[in-house]
Structure 1
Amino acid sequence: MKRILLCDSDLLTKLSDEVPSNKMRQSLVQGLIKGYKLDELCEIIDVEPIEYKRLTLYHDMDFIKQLILDRKEIDQQSENHEVISNKISEVFDLIEDLVDDEVDAKDDELYGLSHDCYPFPFMKYYINLTAASTIQLSERMCEYIKSQHQQQFQSKIIGLNFYGGRHHGSKSKASGFCYINDINLGISTIRKNLPNSNIFYLDLDLHYGNGVAEAFKFSQKVTTCSVHRFDVGFFPNAGSFEESRTGAYNISTKRGLNDESLKWILEEVVLNLIKKHKPNFLIIQVGCDGLATDVHKQWNLTIKGFNKVIQNLINDIDRSIPIMILGGGGYNNAETAKCWTHLTNFLLDSNFPKDINDFQNEIPEHSLLDYYENDGYKFWTETNSNPSKMHNENTIESLQEIKEYLLSL
């Protein structure tokens, strides 16, 4: 038996569409999942606002106050200002604000709210619901885990939150398009609800999951492992495998990482680390900026290859371990939507198609179908079905060196 939970919120979708780095991405993601009716096979977590004070479970209060500063002039820049404003009035009606007259926009840069994380319309509400999505998914999963322990039966619990996965934010600073670190809030929520939990966090984004690694580097109950592109000057300019320590592992790769190399890494390194630390909760961040179709052009992964590796990992670990899957990077919006929809289908083992590696190629009729016009309204195209001609600089010798180093810690 398998229980799949999926976070969904019309308001959070609209708010996420305002994020400068991911304009309209969330509507494409949620829209394609619903277009294939995969949401009907999931238990929906209808994300609701939380008190802003709950964000201090990880973040500093002064940082939160800066994030939720009223910025009405910026809010009015949204093309959907009236629609979103009306929805916010309904949804946030009973949520207490944190008003502080001393907070001023002139301090934005101190908190990282400039450059790649500049303020955008309705940011304070996006912050709230993004944090709430991972917190509430964590709480629901913990409830089911406790219930199963009491009733002595086991079903596979998988939680999906493609709003989340913001892995660069620190306690008091936004960074790398990440205004808040929902992952750390989720981990802290799990630890609060299940004090004996032993959590393994796996980051598959192109970029190093520094915000999570830094937060738990001294924890005995949280293991972090990040597979990422590493090079001098490549954001966040950290995360070499030599910087690893027991419980905080960096699998730093070179340009051109392909499906075969990622499969080798997960089978030869990550699975061994999971067996070593014996977690009873697994969190996977599945950023799509490593796809060959992404604008970064640094890795050479395909949708099928990436998702098959994730599926294999899930199949290879103890079925009793609950798994939370979070979004992250991905800057080709249509391809990110396809990747996460395909992954959702993988995890559901839905009735179509019979071969889970395949997928209905005609994208179903839905409100955002026109966004796929350049793809001929097809799911699979020549571009996303195959890797590019990028050279894979990750040799078996270089990967073997990383493996030997990390498994010796």
Structure 2
Amino acid sequence: MTNINSMVKFAISTSQFQSQVSDLLPCNKSLKSQLIWGLLKAYKLLDHFDYIITDPSSSKEEMLQFHDKKYVEILLDESLNQLPNEVAEEKFEQWKHLSELGKGDDPDAFLSPNDLLKYYNKYTNQCDIVRKRTVIDTDFEDEEESHSSNEDQRSILKEFNLEGDCPMFPFFPLYLKVITGATLKLLDIPGSDLRPLDIDSLSDRFIGMNWDGGRHHAMKRKASGFCYINDIVILLQKLRKKGFKKITYLDFDLHHGDGVERAMLYSKNVQTISLHLYEVGFFPCTGSLKESRGTNTINLPLMHGFNDKNLNELTAQVVLPCIQKFEPEFIVIQCGSDGLIGDSFHEWQLSIRGLTHNIIKIIKQFPQCHVILLGGGGYNPTLSSRFYSYLTWNVLNEFGSEHLLKNPFEDVHFQGKDTTYDILIPDHPYNEFYGDEEHYKFWIYEQDGSSLYKPLKNDNKPSLVTKFREHYQVD
């Protein structure tokens, strides 16, 4: 435990175990979370946290604080905590490869999903659960019964949207319990009693992080957009139970934060602000200006090519005034990385520095607010790992009791020459995944002349900020 005398207490949910569980999610491509974990360790950032949650868990009861009972029971069916025979082993080859690499640096790394489950059951004091036959189980002896049950299964999957981009996958309940718990446990730090800050208690400010959380699309009884349990909504409800009367939720993801917005639509206690791409046919096809409601539900629909300059203006002239008007006690920020230049969506062109700068600016502007930062979208794993490690360092450096001694992302030793773009990813077990990106360079996605730097046409008009200011009546 460090930073004992700091103005801010820092907590993060992360571990080898958590990252390996998170990478069971298909859209993580078996490596996103482990690469984030790898860089956090490589830059020694975890040394500067007061609290590190390594073994998160959540319960059915916590999920039922928002989600429908039948839906949760389907999701947590323990028969899904296994690798079905029909799932080819090669689907886990990359996951296993990263696990073996991690084992070389960390003896606590797990070499199979079964090992993850055994570890989880051990630290949550659960016995091994005997597999039960359920409506999701298609292993039947009777052909007529099997046909009928398969029809039931298809109906249930369709009802809860557990198909398409939201399929069930091996060790599904384990994933949901761990990743949801990683967000919720940030409010259960031992020895802390989070409560609204006043002018005399600013030294008790709290900043928490979970880069595996931020599942903002999940609905009350339906999965959506790679999201199954809405950890954000349950977190917001938990904050209200702790006595926070005003909470701002701010969403930087490329996609509209529709699940959170819908859940909090009629709440006077929670303000939702979402910056997102809004174009015909782009998922989830919601978040228009017309869907806004006063100063509590704020949508900022944007176009292709959104860049740092646009974000700076929007933050200063719209986002900050709207938050100020609401006067929150707590701010939750979803820091999706799919709007960065280099993400596989290729829709926005925010830089790592630019998005980080605006997140820091918001945290700094409201010192009376506790803050929780969550991950979200991001479909280029090596790019996402760069962003979250850089953002983590900047939060620690800006709000800790002392500035960290060295910025590992800049080279300040050479006067009159910009050598920043020569900064390399530090040597660590997952180095090989950065080797093809022009020799391990950290800033390669933002470097002029790089084969990975691909500027986009900007379709956002200068008048857009004025339009938003007029709509939300901010001075």
Do the two structures share a fold, i.e. TM-score over 0.5? yes
1:74 alignment partner, one of 84, 87, 92: 84
Task: Tell whether 2:161 aligns with 1:112.
Answer: yes
Question: Is this contact kept in 1: 2:195–2:242, CA < 8 A?
Answer: no
Deviations 1:151-198 (A, max 9, x none): 94524321110010010000111100112111111111111222x431
Question: Is this contact kept in 2: 1:155–1:320, CA < 8 A?
Answer: no
* Greater displacement, 170-179 / 397-406: 397-406
What secondary structure is seen at the aligned counterpart in 2 of 1:311? helix
Q: Report how far residue 89 of structure 1 moved.
A: 1.5
Q: Distance in 2 between matches of 1:150 and 1:306?
A: 29
Question: Is this contact kept in 2: 1:50–1:132, CA < 8 A?
Answer: yes
What secondary structure is seen at the aligned counterpart in 1 of 2:27? helix
Task: Tell whether 2:405 aligns with 1:351.
Answer: yes
Task: Tell whether 2:223 aligns with 1:174.
Answer: yes
Task: Tell whether 2:427 aligns with 1:365.
Answer: yes
Instruction: Indicate the residue corresponding to 2:352 in structure 1.
Output: 303
Instruction: Indicate the residue corresponding to 1:327 in structure 2.
Output: 375
Q: Distance in 2 between matches of 1:37 and 1:237?
A: 40
Letter in structure 2 aligned against 1:205 = D
Instruction: Indicate the residue corresponding to 2:463 in structure 1.
Output: 397
What secondary structure is seen at the aligned counterpart in 1 of 2:58? coil
Instruction: Indicate the residue corresponding to 1:215 in structure 2.
Output: 263
Q: Distance in 2 between matches of 1:308 and 1:99?
A: 49
Instruction: Indicate the residue corresponding to 2:179 in structure 1.
Output: 130
Letter in structure 2 aligned against 1:351 = L
Written as runs of structure 1 = structure 2, the 5 A alignment for 1:14-53 is 14-23=20-29, 24-42=31-49, 43-53=51-61
Change over 3 Å in CA distance of 1:173–1:339 after alignment to 2: same
Between the two proteins, what is the percent identity of the paired residues? 31
What secondary structure is seen at the aligned counterpart in 1 of 2:389? helix
Instruction: Indicate the residue corresponding to 2:205 in structure 1.
Output: 156
2:286 alignment partner, one of 220, 238, 257: 238
Instruction: Indicate the residue corresponding to 2:416 in structure 1.
Output: none
Instruction: Please identify runs of 4+ aligned residues in structure 1 that moved more than 6 A.
Output: 96-101, 147-151, 354-360
Q: Distance in 1 between matches of 2:394 and 2:111?
A: 38
Change over 3 Å in CA distance of 1:310–1:147 after alignment to 2: closer
Instruction: Indicate the residue corresponding to 1:5 in structure 2.
Output: 11
Q: Report how far residue 399 of structure 1 moved.
A: 2.5
What secondary structure is seen at the aligned counterpart in 1 of 2:373? strand
What secondary structure is seen at the aligned counterpart in 1 of 2:52? strand
Instruction: Indicate the residue corresponding to 1:340 in structure 2.
Output: 388
Q: Report how far residue 286 of structure 1 moved.
A: 0.5
* Greater displacement, 94-103 / 214-223: 94-103
Deviations 1:175-222 (A, max 9, x none): 00112111111111111222x431000000000000000000100100
Written as runs of structure 1 = structure 2, the 5 A alignment for 1:268-307 is 268-307=317-356
Q: Report how far residue 134 of structure 1 moved.
A: 0.8
Instruction: Indicate the residue corresponding to 1:86 in structure 2.
Output: 115
Instruction: Indicate the residue corresponding to 1:55 in structure 2.
Output: 63
Q: Distance in 1 between matches of 2:378 and 2:180?
A: 19
* Greater displacement, 275-284 / 383-392: 383-392
Q: Distance in 2 between matches of 1:36 and 1:83?
A: 27
What secondary structure is seen at the aligned counterpart in 2 of 1:85? helix
Question: Is this contact kept in 1: 2:38–2:429, CA < 8 A?
Answer: yes
Q: Report how far residue 372 of structure 1 moved.
A: 0.8
Q: Report how far residue 83 of structure 1 moved.
A: 2.5
Q: Distance in 2 between matches of 1:388 and 1:399?
A: 25
* Greater displacement, 227-236 / 89-98: 89-98
Question: Is this contact kept in 1: 2:58–2:184, CA < 8 A?
Answer: no
Q: Report how far residue 356 of structure 1 moved.
A: 7.3
Question: Is this contact kept in 2: 1:204–1:227, CA < 8 A?
Answer: yes
Q: Distance in 1 between matches of 2:286 and 2:130?
A: 34
Structure with greater helix share of residues: 1
Change over 3 Å in CA distance of 1:44–1:206 after alignment to 2: same
Question: Is this contact kept in 1: 2:36–2:386, CA < 8 A?
Answer: yes
Change over 3 Å in CA distance of 1:303–1:165 after alignment to 2: same
Q: Report how far residue 98 of structure 1 moved.
A: 12
Q: Report how far residue 87 of structure 1 moved.
A: 3.0
What secondary structure is seen at the aligned counterpart in 2 of 1:283? strand
Instruction: Indicate the residue corresponding to 2:99 in structure 1.
Output: none
Change over 3 Å in CA distance of 1:198–1:17 after alignment to 2: same
Q: Distance in 1 between matches of 2:237 and 2:18?
A: 22
1:378 alignment partner, one of 441, 446, 450: 441
* Greater displacement, 354-363 / 167-176: 354-363
Question: Is this contact kept in 1: 2:409–2:423, CA < 8 A?
Answer: no
Question: Is this contact kept in 1: 2:425–2:431, CA < 8 A?
Answer: yes
What secondary structure is seen at the aligned counterpart in 2 of 1:226? strand
After superposition, the CA RMSD in angstroms is: 2.7
Q: Report how far residue 74 of structure 1 moved.
A: 3.5
Question: Aligned pairs, how many?
Answer: 406
Q: Distance in 1 between matches of 2:57 and 2:409?
A: 39
Q: Report how far residue 141 of structure 1 moved.
A: 9.6
* Greater displacement, 271-280 / 96-105: 96-105
Larger Rg: 2
Q: Report how far residue 100 of structure 1 moved.
A: 8.6
Q: Distance in 1 between matches of 2:200 and 2:423?
A: 42
Instruction: Tell me the TM-score normalized by structure 1.
Output: 0.92
Q: Distance in 1 between matches of 2:36 and 2:16?
A: 12
Instruction: Tell me the TM-score normalized by structure 2.
Output: 0.80
Instruction: Indicate the residue corresponding to 2:248 in structure 1.
Output: 200
Q: Report how far residue 284 of structure 1 moved.
A: 0.4
Letter in structure 2 aligned against 1:27 = Q
Q: Distance in 2 between matches of 1:148 and 1:402?
A: 31
